[in-house]
Amino acid sequence: MESAPIILPRITIQHDFQSVITDVREGTVPSEEFWISCYKLNEPSVHGKVFAELDEIDRNKVNLDSRGGVVVIYGDSPHYNISCPQLGITPTKIRVPSRSFSGSSSGLQRITAFDISPDGTQFATGGHDGTVLLQPTNLPRYENKSKPHVSTITSLRFFPSSRVLLTAGADFSLSILPAKLEASESLISPARTLRGHTRSVTDTAIIAKGRNVLSSAKDGTLRLWDVSAGNSIRTIGSNHWTPIYSISLGIKGTATFGTPNPDGEPPSPPTPIEPNQNEVETGDKVVFCALSDGSLEAFDLGTKLSVHKNKVGVRALTTVSYSPEHSLVATGSINGVVTVFDTRSLAAPVTSFVRGDSSIEDIVFTSSGVEDAGVGVVIGTEDGLSYVASVRPEGPAVLSELVGTDCDAIRVVRVSSDGAIWSAGDDGIIRRY
């Protein structure tokens, strides 16, 4: 299945535009300008300028004079709204980071994996050298370091307790790390190392409270692990062992799989099999997989069988996100297409959209900042132009642009328990929106 996706516009803004406004407000310069560009595939781009000048009466106010086809106005601090009538772009929120963190106190390093703890007290970053860093979200600033892998960290997931971290690497292994922050220069040693995959591990998921975890790899398999024993319980794979680039786990809920019965009733669910004695709370779970051949596949963890597979596009799917709460699953592809399905009817997508041809690096559902109790997706992209798009009740549409990077890829996006959006990527900076 591949239908023409809806084309959404892009708004780009000079990455340090806030510094320009601050310089004018503080009197460093009497006036200054910054640029804004708007794009839409197959249409002429619009390049405008905004002149910032201190107000003659209120010397704490900076006036913004928009020119060249763009319109910028102040929104809810510290955000701004930008529109472009020529491309049909209605006022769109420009979200700037409320806080930024360095991925390492020792200097810039590309971040390949990131996660924020469920209790919001700490975050973890991973890089190409196999190092994992733990840092607090509040002062004092210090970091705990571990070296659980010999090559790129591909996934980081905090356990629900926020005190244990699951790591995965391109060295075919996973590890279980203690994640209790303390001022120490000693390397944190893994409590467990899990081995069994024969190619790079690509993604992970934690089941229930964490007695079992799940991993995917380029060897085309899912592996279910018993954390306490450090053993692989089961190996699950597609018929052709197609590399799995991303997974998303959740309860089956209202998800419907298979072909309807002749009477039009939904298909009967697969019969659960007797679980391994070391499995905990797997019977009601389903895992969606983004495959390198452009397919979306779902496995029932109760039966360990593939219960759904469909071709989303001709290019590889790079990421997938499942929201049981909203009965939606979204995929992102290497050529920039986002496709959203209703899990109660997976035969055809709810919507499909694209902004450019840069790879979708990560995607996660959010209700934060979406009006009318709707549903949105936060999208991290290789070109650094990450954004939030609505998918329900109306959509797709760009709700907000996540700005602050200077064309550096955003590899990971997360939504924390308080609704904040976090991003991390190639410039080594973690941003909280």
**For position 360, what pLDDT does the model report?**
98
Reduced 3-state DSSP string for 126-161? ECCCCCEEEEECCCCCCCEEECCCCCCEEEEEECCC
pLDDT at 184: 76
d(CA 429, CA 71): 29
Report pLDDT for 266: 55
- As a whole number of angstroms, the longest Cα–Cα distance in the chain is 77
First-to-last C-alpha distance (Å) of the chain: 35
Task: Report the distance separating Cα 79 and Cα 75, nearest Å.
Answer: 5
Q: Is residue 13 part of a domain?
A: yes
pLDDT of residue 1: 45
> Which residue bears the tokens 């797997």?
282
Residues in CB range of 133: below 8 A, 6 or more apart: 103, 104, 124, 125, 126, 143, 144, 145, 146
Task: Note whether residue 138 is domain-resident.
Answer: no
DSSP 86: G
Is 233 a domain residue? Answer: no
Beta bridge partners of 221: 237
What is the pTM assigned to this prediction? 0.92
Domain count, the chain: 1
**240 CB-side CA count, 13 A:** 8
Q: Is residue 168 part of a domain?
A: no
pLDDT tens by residue, 387-419: 999 998 777 999 999 999 989 999 999 999 999
Within-domain flag for 332: no
- Average pLDDT (362-369) is 89
What tens digit of pLDDT does each residue of 253-280 get?
888 886 554 555 555 555 656 668 899 9
Range of the domain at 31: 6-95
Res 213 pLDDT > 50? yes
- Mean pLDDT computed over every residue of the chain: 91
Interval 301-325 mean pLDDT: 94
pLDDT in tens, 35-82: 999 999 999 999 999 999 999 888 888 999 999 999 999 887 778 999
pLDDT of residue 238: 65
Average pLDDT over residues 114-140: 93
Q: Tokens 């840092």 — which residue?
A: 135
Cα(271)–Cα(285) distance, integer angstroms: 13
pLDDT at 131 over 50: yes
44 inside domain: yes
pLDDT > 70: percent of the chain: 92
Q: Are 123 and 115 in contact (CB under 8 A)?
A: yes
Residue 105 has a pLDDT of 66
| DSSP track, 23-76 | HHHTTSSSEEEEEEEEE-TTS--EEEEEEEEE-SS-TT-EEEEEESS-EEEE-S
Asked if 290 and 318 touch (Cβ cutoff 8 Å), the reply is: yes
Distances (CA, A) of 213 to 22, 153, 307: 47, 17, 20
In this predicted structure, what is the pLDDT of residue 256? 86
Determine, yes or no, domain membership for 362.
no
Q: Report d(CA 45, CA 260) in Å as an integer.
A: 47
